[in-house]
């Protein structure tokens, strides 16, 4: 079993949701792919020709395609446009995504509709 952790990457809470989920699953025999990078900073150009950026995005796409489950968390304090894109990609495969979208997320209605239509 393998899990990819998509969703909000901004540090908005004292506890990082990815760290909390990894800790709660630490005794479970699964492989977790966490795309968060502490070395990512504002000097990285979001450009196809900027090698580190391209490599990161390609790695994320590959892992999302190959994992059994993609967990997507939409934090209400963020817009998370890439997370919406990731949901759209995962929605093609029924049951692949586990989505957490609390009240207050700006596109919650859209997320709810995609989830209800694609489950």
> Quick count: other Cβ atoms within 10 Å of Cβ 25?
14
User: How many domains in the chain?
Assistant: 1
Q: What is the pLDDT of residue 118?
A: 80
Q: What is the pLDDT of residue 40?
A: 83
Q: What is the pLDDT of residue 14?
A: 74
The answer to whether the pTM exceeds 0.95 is no
Q: What is the pLDDT of residue 73?
A: 97
Q: Which domain holds residue 82?
A: 2-118
Whole-angstrom Cα distance, residue 3 to residue 60? Answer: 12
Is residue 31 exposed (0-12), middle (13-18) or buried (19+ Cβ within 10 Å)? exposed
Element holding 69 (H helix, E strand): strand 69-73
pLDDT 10s digit of each residue in the chain, 119 long?
A: 999 999 988 878 878 899 999 999 999 999 999 999 888 888 999 999 999 999 999 999 999 999 999 999 999 999 999 999 999 999 999 999 999 999 999 999 999 999 998 87
């Amino acid at each position: 079993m393998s899990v990819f952790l998509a969703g909000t990457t901004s540090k908005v809470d004292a506890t990082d949701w990815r760290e909390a989920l990894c800790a709660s699953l630490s005794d479970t025999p699964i492989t977790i792919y966490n795309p968060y990078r502490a070395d990512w900073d504002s000097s990285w150009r979001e450009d196809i020709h900027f090698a580190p950026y391209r490599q990161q995005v390609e790695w994320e796409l590959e892992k999302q395609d190959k994992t059994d489950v993609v967990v997507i968390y939409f934090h209400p304090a963020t817009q998370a446009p890439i997370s919406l894109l990731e949901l759209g990609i995962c929605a093609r495969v029924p049951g692949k995504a586990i989505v957490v979208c609390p009240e207050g997320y700006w596109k919650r209605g859209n997320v709810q509709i995609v989830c209800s239509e694609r489950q």
